[in-house]
Structure 1
Amino acid sequence: MYGEIDLELYTLSIIRLNTAFEKLKSKNDINEIKTMFKESYSDLDKLYKDIVEDLNRKEVNLNEYYMFFSNGKQTFPLYIKILQEIENDELEEEISSLINVFENLNKIAEPFSTEMIK
């Protein structure tokens, strides 16, 4: 990634995740929902690993990270809460993986603040 967050990957994974939530409410095919959760997890995990790699470099341009994580500080906990409220044994593994990746992203987001941007 090298200093840039793949916002397209993030956006697609969130759209896919939100679509899976809607399909779950509509009681659609659980296998399709499971696949969507797995794909969202895969994308978010890749994004997380890329961010960790970028932030561990000697020289880091943090401007893009401030905006992403300022927003993430609000959205990551919401996704964690939504996922924790899902009661479906067939999706337990996927839900656990998604919660884990959102918690990891949220841990990185904690030290970022909108005050730092000013």
Structure 2
Amino acid sequence: MDGVIDLESYTISIIRINNALSKLKDNRIDEVKELFDESFVDLQQLYLDIVDDLNRQEVNLNEYYLFFQNGKQAFPQYIEVLQNIDITELDESAGSLANVFKNLNKIAAAFNEE
């Protein structure tokens, strides 16, 4: 990833999740599952890229500062919403997505302690 966060992919994933949550109100479960799964793939890759970048010897932390400052507030909200979805057909998709946000949130918490 070369020390640059893929903000476009992150933004698209967040938009997908928000759209999915909107469709959830209309009980469009199949569409919600698809949007959650697509977002999971992108966010999981983003997480892996960030971990890889942060494990390098030379890291420009400025690139991550604003992302994790925002994430400190946004990630817990998404975790809570996803964990509170009580629809059996979405358990796996919502759970996987919540786990990615938990992983990102752990990095955000540790990052901001430094």
TM-score, normalised via structure 1 length? 0.93
CA shift for structure 1 position 102: 0.3
SS at match of 1:109: helix
Superposed displacement of residue 61, structure 1 = 0.4
The letter of the residue matching 2:50 is: I
Amino acid at match of 1:84: Q
In the other structure, the counterpart of 1:64 is 63
Q: For structure 2, which runs of at least 5 residues remain unmatched after alignment?
A: none
Letter in 1 for 2:49: D
Q: Which residue of 1 aligns with 2:93?
A: 94
Q: Which whole-Å deviations, capped at 9, do the CAs of 1:52-94 have from their partners, x for residues lacking one? A: 0000001000001010001000000000000111110000000
Q: Deviations over 1:16-49 (max 9, x none)?
A: 0000000001112x11111100000000000000
**Which secondary structure does the structure 2 equivalent of 1:111 belong to?**
helix
| Alignment partners' CA distance in 2, 1:12 and 1:105 | 17
Counterparts in 2 of 1:97-112, with a 5 A limit? 97-112=96-111
Q: Which residue is 2:14 aligned to? A: 14
TM-score for both structures, normalised by structure 2: 0.96
Structure 1 alignment gaps of length 5 or more: none
Q: Tell me the residue number matched to 1:2.
A: 2
What amino acid does structure 1 have at the position aligned with 2:103? N
1-structure distance, mates of 2:105, 2:15: 19
Please provide the CA RMSD for this pair: 1.3
